[in-house]
Structure 1
Amino acid sequence: MKYIYIIVASLLLTATSCKDFLELPSEKDFDSSTIFEDVGKVEMAVLGAYTSTFNAELFYQFGMGTDECFSTEGETNSKNQVANYVFNPAISPTGTYTAMYAGVEQANVLIRNIPLMTITDDAEQDKLDILLGEAYAIRAMNMLHVVRHFGDVPYPTIPVVEMPDFSSSRVSRDTILDGCVRDLQQAIELLPWKGGSGMPIERVSKNAAYGLLARIALYAAGYSLRWDLDSYAPGSVQLARRSDTPRIQELYEIARDACKAVVDRGENELIDYETIFRDLVNGKYNKESMFEYGQKGADRNEARLGYTNGIFAHTQSFYNKSQPAMAALPTYYFEFEEGDVRRDVTISNYAITAESTHQMNTYANHMIGKYRVNWKADEGVSAAQRDINWIHLRYADVLLMYAEAENELNNGPTGVAKEMYEKVRLRAFQNDRSQIGETPSTYEAFRDAIIQERKLELGFEGWRRTDLIRWGILYEKLTATKQEITDLANHTGKYADVARYRAYQVTDAKAFNDPTIALDFVSLKNEPTATEKAELERQGYTILDMYGNTAAFFNNRFTANEVWVRNIFRGLEKNKVELFPLSTNTIDANPGLRGQQHPLY
């Protein structure tokens, strides 16, 4: 049983505590020939496999290049290039691909060996059933991450040492995603509901497995970039759904039923939107968050959540350094309707200066607000390692998936679809029904509403790029967004009345659990006169040119001819960039992939 060493070695190298529920024994306590003779050691192996379920690329490289988010790094930086669709096999991201397959191998070893274990009593059997269910869920979610970014890929379902050789070729993503659906259906049979089970949020419960099943079913039913796997002919590349229409309908039914199971169970609920993310950065749990990747401890902070994807905090500030490499597109701020509480949580309109004050951001440097360091109760392990979990799944997502599946199945929104959609809308407007507007009644209008609502609800949570692809609209949506950015920069079209200046008051940022959500401001359509300026300054206001370069971070002017504006989405090509090419090293390492590169690369 040599292959068991793979999982043990990975466990010892990468696993550590998730909110302190896991303490690893020393290496001498592991024996590759006896690990599956002890339930406790099997649990350690499962917990080790969870370390592969998340990678910084999922929110960083793959999280940019959307109608929400752009890269603040220079145009020659590979992450900026990936964010703007200027990629090739030499710079194609590899971290997620490698990490996900490591987890798949761990899951395969577990799935192969747990059923072969000798069981002594019912309690032990129940424990092993849960562990097996978790292994199925890990394999499914990891394969989704690979497929949604790379398409048809190798699909190992047995441990490496049982394979006839170490060469694996591409497999149709339909086959893979159908396998992931089966894995999660199996997991659901084995896993307990969260309530009363004692399952920590960093492990997959039945609730989470249902949500993950719905997600995978929607991806399996949606659009993706496809080509002929026999010829790899460039002319065969097209954005399309699978050809089996009855299966598409069946997948929507699976998604609908999975979401319904979670809603009917009643264990999860929507909570105050701001509280979701204040809880997140402080390691607190609530009924909306359904599954998180644990970042507790120095060894699990490699993703640098809150640093790369947070607000700017000067290295000399009270909170120490936070250095974002990604920010909110200027137009995203204006997508939120007046009164929508999500806007100022999702997008921070301030940065933290060296003097530990809140400084208002310009339109060009609005930052990601959900993971802001000043909302924490402490600094964390270090400036770049803040102990912030990553939310894989929350209840609002389940409600929106439920509404989407109902609309697809019935060629228009049912009463249930509208109810689920309105639950999310109402929370955004603090349950004021007069503010949410009329819910669309036709298929197309409701679909568009779901597309927009997911953008507002799930901003910067890592799903937007591939959501746009599964809807078949990435190119169209980003092309329209680029025009809107230009219009905002030129102060034309629907942005003609946007304020050019804001007056705000500088406030202190010198305490943890900072209550500041957003800085209040006075909108000034035009530059104030000398008299107006003097009066505002007398009242303690600072006047900011919202198109200028006075900023704590990313201090670039916002005009249409600025390089950073011109270069947004500069490599965008329809029916090409919807999938990444495999990296050169990935193909070189696997003989089965020779000659199987993305046909347009």
Structure 2
Amino acid sequence: MTTNIKLLFLISIVALSSCKKWLEMPSEKEFDSETIFENVSRAEMAVLGAYSSTFNRELYYQFGMGTDECFSTEGETNSKNQVANYVYNTSNIPTSTYTAMYAGVEYANVCIKNLPQMQAGNEQEKRKLDMLLGESYAIRAMNMLNVVRFFGDVPYPKIPVVDAGTFNSSRVSRDTILDGCIDDLQKAIDLLPWKSEGGVTTPERFTKNAAYGVLARVALYAAGYSLRWDLNSYAPGSVTIAQRSDANRIGQLYEIARNACKAIVDRGENNLIAYETVFRDLVNGQYNPETMLEYGQYGNNSNDASIGYTNGMFAHTNCMFGKAQPAMGALPTYYFDFNEGDTRRDVAICNYSIANDNTRQMNNFSGMTIGKFRVTWKAQIGTAINKRDINWPILRYADVLLMYAEAENEVNHGPTATAIELYEKVRLRAFNNDRSKMGTTPSSYEDFRKAIMTERKLELGFEGWRRTDLARWGVLYETLSETKQKLIQLAKSEGPYAGIDKYQAYKKEQAKSFLDPVVAVPFIGYKNAPTADEEQQLKNEGYTLLEMHSNVSLFNGNRTDETSTWIMGLFRGLEKNKVEILPLNATTIDDNPGLQGQQHPLY
């Protein structure tokens, strides 16, 4: 964060500190009592307060695991492990995302009500008030998408609680909600300035660029598949995976997504930069033309996000970087999903951990960690070991290009020249513009659709979208079932993994400073165990030999065998036509009488 934004954010938190439960949010009258909307500066603090409830740790932690990229390294009795493996019940379902998102919606609703009533003293104030109103509409839409993509049909408040006159909020069709979000974002786009117009200097707030990107995202979710049921009967037999029934509207939604992305691309203000630089910039609070929207992290304003601690590399308590203790890891199959020469692999997946003496020690298969938020890339520790001041990437330009290509394919029922160009831009960046390594781009509708699914996994790994992307494509069950079988094959070194390295030899070297330049520890691979003479020679040359299937690892020391508990327990609760949408926590229903009798029909 810039210093000014930090200060405004701190002030807004003090003035408008968010509560744990949506129903405990301060009413609109309390805002009035503080004369928040008396002038533009105070109104801006109200909007900044809404931003504080647009993200939390659950979005990348509980909800970010259970994919073909990421798994929980906690024990099977841990509720986070259970949610990551689709073992749902009405008491272990997380509630923080649900309540935080509605807190943000309430703040946005208060701002949407009050901002239009303010009188601007001059044209500059008029532009500022328009921008603040646009931000409020965009925040409401983004937050509602985050609730809908995990919980489906949910309450949809569009006015402040004090004006509703009741706390009885029932489920509303997700189609109605997402159409409302599209309307909100279209209003936001009309009100917000482009990034280049200087309304804000940070990607931690909405611009027209970011609103267009989130509009595309909402439209793709609104057009996609979801687990649905009859909202009148809640009959278990009515539960099915389907798109909305209006085929014409589905086509319109894909066109909305395409046109939104096209507006960003045509504007030309955003572009791709080196993949590694994206995340080195992110962990150090540096902005660039690729990252279009971030959730700001600074000190105690972290909303318990723990970015780089829970979802980063492992670093020993006594090392110079301070403790980093992941609770989630990279599936070893994900490592092998990247083609040879794809520069994203070693950025996304960290193949080493930091020991107590600052040496980089290679991870075994089960110990690979998330590399995008690694603490060794920072310039300093940050506020605390569990509050590293690392922003969260909400929207990147690469995502926009892939959404554009996906929408083009859907609108035209096949990839156009534009769709292929956009897809290949992302691919070429990954291979340092070496087209010979990129592979062939599919030309049929179905093959291109599958290629987009794969590319989003490779490009956006560990950024919190994979689980619900698979659900909106209607392939969550099939993809995860296949992934588990592949993991078993990898454990047995069979099938596509018959030729992988079973041993890797590397040199233990010390990380000597922050801003560590190392991306991956280099190694010599062996398909089978080296001979005694070869092993002795490696030792003489200063190499350490690691059996990749072994339990030797600083992080998650488990063997990668087909009978290992962590492999057998992976996705153990997975059931098609059931787990694609989470049930509501029992306390969520108890807190809202309007939800009585409206639980997920299969729970």
Q: TM-score, normalised by structure 2?
A: 0.96
Distance 1:20 1:41, change over 3 A: closer
Q: Which runs of 5+ in 2 are unaligned?
A: 17-29
What CA distance in whole angstroms lies between the structure 1 residues aligned with 2:108 and 2:43? Answer: 11
User: 1:13 corresponds to which residue?
Assistant: none
For residue 284 of structure 1, the aligned residue among 263, 283, 286 is 286
CA-to-aligned-CA distance 1:515-552 (integer Å, 9 cap, x gap): 01001100111111111100011111100000001100
The 5 Å alignment of 1:49-198 reads 49-198=50-199
For residue 329 of structure 2, the aligned residue among 311, 327, 330 is 327
What CA distance in whole angstroms lies between the structure 1 residues aligned with 2:185 and 2:15? Answer: 32
Confirm or deny that 1:528 pairs with 2:515.
no
Quote the offset at 1:598 in angstroms: 0.2
The 5 Å alignment of 1:417-496 reads 417-496=419-498
User: 1:6 corresponds to which residue?
Assistant: none
Quote the offset at 1:582 in angstroms: 0.3
- Alignment-mate amino acid for residue 190 of structure 2: E
What CA distance in whole angstroms lies between the structure 2 residues aligned with 1:170 and 1:459? Answer: 32
- Alignment-mate amino acid for residue 572 of structure 2: R
CA-to-aligned-CA distance 1:487-535 (integer Å, 9 cap, x gap): 0001111111111100001111131000010011001111111111000
Secondary structure of residue in 2 paired with 1:195: helix
Distance 1:18 1:555, change over 3 A: farther
Distance 1:524 1:290, change over 3 A: same
Is contact 2:10-2:301 (8 Å) kept?
Answer: no
Distance 1:154 1:22, change over 3 A: closer
What CA distance in whole angstroms lies between the structure 2 residues aligned with 1:61 and 1:456? Answer: 20
The 5 Å alignment of 1:402-413 reads 402-413=404-415
Distance 1:591 1:17, change over 3 A: farther
Confirm or deny that 1:24 pairs with 2:8.
no
- Alignment-mate amino acid for residue 397 of structure 1: D
Is contact 1:506-1:542 (8 Å) kept?
Answer: yes
User: 2:22 corresponds to which residue?
Assistant: none
* Identity score, percent: 65
- Alignment-mate amino acid for residue 24 of structure 1: I
- Alignment-mate amino acid for residue 598 of structure 1: H
Is contact 2:52-2:303 (8 Å) kept?
Answer: no
What CA distance in whole angstroms lies between the structure 1 residues aligned with 2:167 and 2:130? Answer: 30
What CA distance in whole angstroms lies between the structure 2 residues aligned with 1:253 and 1:403? Answer: 12
What CA distance in whole angstroms lies between the structure 2 residues aligned with 1:545 and 1:21? Answer: 52
Quote the offset at 1:20 in angstroms: 4.8
What CA distance in whole angstroms lies between the structure 1 residues aligned with 2:303 and 2:147? Answer: 22
Is contact 2:37-2:115 (8 Å) kept?
Answer: yes
Quote the offset at 1:124 in angstroms: 1.5
User: 1:251 corresponds to which residue?
Assistant: 253
What CA distance in whole angstroms lies between the structure 1 residues aligned with 2:111 and 2:8? Answer: 21
Is contact 1:192-1:205 (8 Å) kept?
Answer: yes
User: 2:338 corresponds to which residue?
Assistant: 336
Distance 1:44 1:494, change over 3 A: same
What CA distance in whole angstroms lies between the structure 2 residues aligned with 1:523 and 1:178? Answer: 52
Distance 1:265 1:31, change over 3 A: same
Q: Which runs of 5+ in 1 are unaligned?
A: 1-15
Is contact 2:193-2:199 (8 Å) kept?
Answer: no
What CA distance in whole angstroms lies between the structure 2 residues aligned with 1:429 and 1:80? Answer: 35
Is contact 2:56-2:303 (8 Å) kept?
Answer: no
- Alignment-mate amino acid for residue 99 of structure 1: A
What CA distance in whole angstroms lies between the structure 2 residues aligned with 1:166 and 1:21? Answer: 32
What CA distance in whole angstroms lies between the structure 1 residues aligned with 2:599 and 2:456? Answer: 32
- Alignment-mate amino acid for residue 514 of structure 2: F
What CA distance in whole angstroms lies between the structure 2 residues aligned with 1:32 and 1:221? Answer: 42
User: 1:519 corresponds to which residue?
Assistant: 521
User: 1:215 corresponds to which residue?
Assistant: 217
- Alignment-mate amino acid for residue 443 of structure 2: S
Secondary structure of residue in 1 paired with 2:309: coil
What CA distance in whole angstroms lies between the structure 1 residues aligned with 2:535 and 2:418? Answer: 53
Is contact 1:234-1:600 (8 Å) kept?
Answer: yes
CA-to-aligned-CA distance 1:261-297 (integer Å, 9 cap, x gap): 0000000000000000000000000000000000022
CA-to-aligned-CA distance 1:303-334 (integer Å, 9 cap, x gap): 10000000000000110100000000010000
Quote the offset at 1:562 in angstroms: 0.8
What CA distance in whole angstroms lies between the structure 1 residues aligned with 2:119 and 2:361? Answer: 63
For residue 351 of structure 2, the aligned residue among 343, 349, 352 is 349
Is contact 1:301-1:385 (8 Å) kept?
Answer: no
CA-to-aligned-CA distance 1:83-133 (integer Å, 9 cap, x gap): 000011111110000000001011011111111122322221111100000
The 5 Å alignment of 1:368-387 reads 368-387=370-389
Secondary structure of residue in 2 paired with 1:24: helix
Distance 1:27 1:450, change over 3 A: closer
User: 2:207 corresponds to which residue?
Assistant: 205
Distance 1:55 1:33, change over 3 A: closer
User: 1:4 corresponds to which residue?
Assistant: none
- Alignment-mate amino acid for residue 388 of structure 1: I
Secondary structure of residue in 1 paired with 2:332: coil
User: 1:44 corresponds to which residue?
Assistant: 45
Secondary structure of residue in 1 paired with 2:196: coil
What CA distance in whole angstroms lies between the structure 2 residues aligned with 1:578 and 1:30? Answer: 38
Quote the offset at 1:24 in angstroms: 1.5
CA-to-aligned-CA distance 1:22-79 (integer Å, 9 cap, x gap): 4518769986262222111110000010001101000000000000000000111000
Quote the offset at 1:299 in angstroms: 2.9
What CA distance in whole angstroms lies between the structure 2 residues aligned with 1:345 and 1:27? Answer: 39
What CA distance in whole angstroms lies between the structure 1 residues aligned with 2:302 and 2:576? Answer: 37
For residue 548 of structure 2, the aligned residue among 539, 546, 549 is 546
Is contact 1:349-1:518 (8 Å) kept?
Answer: yes
What CA distance in whole angstroms lies between the structure 1 residues aligned with 2:296 and 2:7? Answer: 10
Q: TM-score, normalised by structure 1?
A: 0.96
- Alignment-mate amino acid for residue 98 of structure 2: Y
Is contact 1:20-1:296 (8 Å) kept?
Answer: no
Distance 1:38 1:160, change over 3 A: same
What CA distance in whole angstroms lies between the structure 1 residues aligned with 2:8 and 2:219? Answer: 31
Secondary structure of residue in 1 paired with 2:505: strand
User: 1:295 corresponds to which residue?
Assistant: 297
CA-to-aligned-CA distance 1:366-399 (integer Å, 9 cap, x gap): 1000000000000001111100000100000000
Distance 1:506 1:301, change over 3 A: farther
Quote the offset at 1:198 in angstroms: 4.5
What CA distance in whole angstroms lies between the structure 1 residues aligned with 2:468 and 2:9? Answer: 33
Secondary structure of residue in 1 paired with 2:42: helix
What CA distance in whole angstroms lies between the structure 2 residues aligned with 1:205 and 1:275? Answer: 22
**Cα RMSD (Å) of the superposition?**
1.4
Quote the offset at 1:17 in angstroms: 7.3
User: 1:312 corresponds to which residue?
Assistant: 314
Which contiguous aligned blocks of 4+ residues in structure 1 show a shift greater than 6 angstroms?
Answer: none
What CA distance in whole angstroms lies between the structure 2 residues aligned with 1:196 and 1:179? Answer: 27
- Alignment-mate amino acid for residue 410 of structure 1: N
Secondary structure of residue in 2 paired with 1:398: helix
What CA distance in whole angstroms lies between the structure 1 residues aligned with 2:103 and 2:67? Answer: 28
What CA distance in whole angstroms lies between the structure 1 residues aligned with 2:159 and 2:262? Answer: 32
